[in-house]
């Protein structure tokens, strides 16, 4: 998804670019290129939201000793490799985080980012940020994410689900999901049990295209699940992941 802001019109335009089923990131980049060509779009600035299908995530615990910037990058890559294996060929970045709290690390393929930049550069378009879908949602609704509450973004064929504790994120997992309401609710309930929590789950879920409620509202499903709807999402400041991915 590309977020384009026009100077002539003070509004934001959401442009969704979907690759063909089964296609890798090349399909998404080619789809963006065709859309730009078809609409004769050149120059300007954009923000890009990337599907979790092309992103890897990991939770990075706070180190026991102070790390320099380069050491912090190695620490984040180490935890990504612990989850996903060899990360050669991937751009890794981590949110700034707060002292003593676990941080979210993300990674995207180097070749994907390079192809994306080349597609934009040929049209004199610059990217303000390149945000993973989960990070974009987190930025937009971070004020609602309180201790004891789950936050998840469901898109493509997966759900990125994290649980917030008193000292920041306590869990972060990418789960296979078809996207239907019942399955998403069941996954949240399972994570709730696995976390050793009791009572009704308290969760915020963003599942575009799955839930139908009025624009810009939060719909309570009555079972502890609050279905979020986009309301100028993407206007919040991006995390370090977005800046690093756009600048490198």
**Tens of pLDDT along 170-190?**
999 999 887 678 888 889 999
Q: What is the mean pLDDT of the chain?
A: 78
Q: How much is the average pLDDT of 76-94? A: 92
Residue 107 confidence (pLDDT): 94
pTM reported for the whole predicted model: 0.79
Residue 105's DSSP bridge partners are: 58, 94
Point out the least confidently predicted range of 91-100, 126-135, 225-234. 225-234
Q: How many CB atoms lie within 10 A of CB 114?
A: 13
Residue 191 confidence (pLDDT): 93
Residue 189 confidence (pLDDT): 92
pLDDT digits (tens, 9 = 90+) for 23-41: 478 888 888 888 888 888 8
| Dist CA 197 CA 123 (whole Å) | 51
Q: Specify the length of the chain in residues.
A: 248
């Amino acid at each position: 998804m590309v977020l384009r802001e026009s100077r002539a019109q003070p509004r934001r335009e959401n442009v969704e670019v979907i690759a063909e089923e089964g296609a890798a990131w090349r399909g998404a980049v080619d789809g963006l290129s065709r859309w730009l060509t078809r609409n004769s779009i050149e120059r300007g600035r954009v923000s890009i939201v990337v599907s979790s299908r092309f992103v890897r995530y990991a939770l990075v615990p706070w180190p026991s000793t102070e790390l320099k910037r380069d050491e912090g990058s190695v620490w984040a890559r180490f935890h990504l490799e612990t989850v996903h294996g060899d990360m050669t060929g991937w751009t890794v970045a981590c949110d700034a985080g707060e002292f003593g709290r676990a941080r979210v690390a993300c990674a995207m393929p180097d070749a994907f980012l390079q192809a994306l930049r080349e597609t934009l550069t040929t049209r004199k378009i610059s990217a303000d940020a390149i945000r993973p879908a989960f990070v974009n949602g987190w930025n937009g609704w971070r004020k609602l994410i309180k201790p004891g509450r789950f936050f998840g973004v469901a898109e493509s064929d997966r759900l990125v689900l994290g649980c917030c504790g008193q000292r920041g994120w306590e869990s972060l997992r990418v789960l296979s999901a078809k996207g239907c309401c019942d399955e998403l609710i069941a996954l949240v309930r399972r994570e709730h049990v696995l976390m050793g929590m009791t009572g009704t789950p308290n969760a915020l879920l963003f599942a575009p295209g799955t839930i139908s409620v009025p624009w810009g509202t939060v719909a309570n499903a009555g079972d502890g699940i609050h279905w979020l709807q986009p309301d100028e999402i993407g206007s919040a400041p991006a995390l370090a992941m977005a800046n690093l991915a756009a600048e490198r």
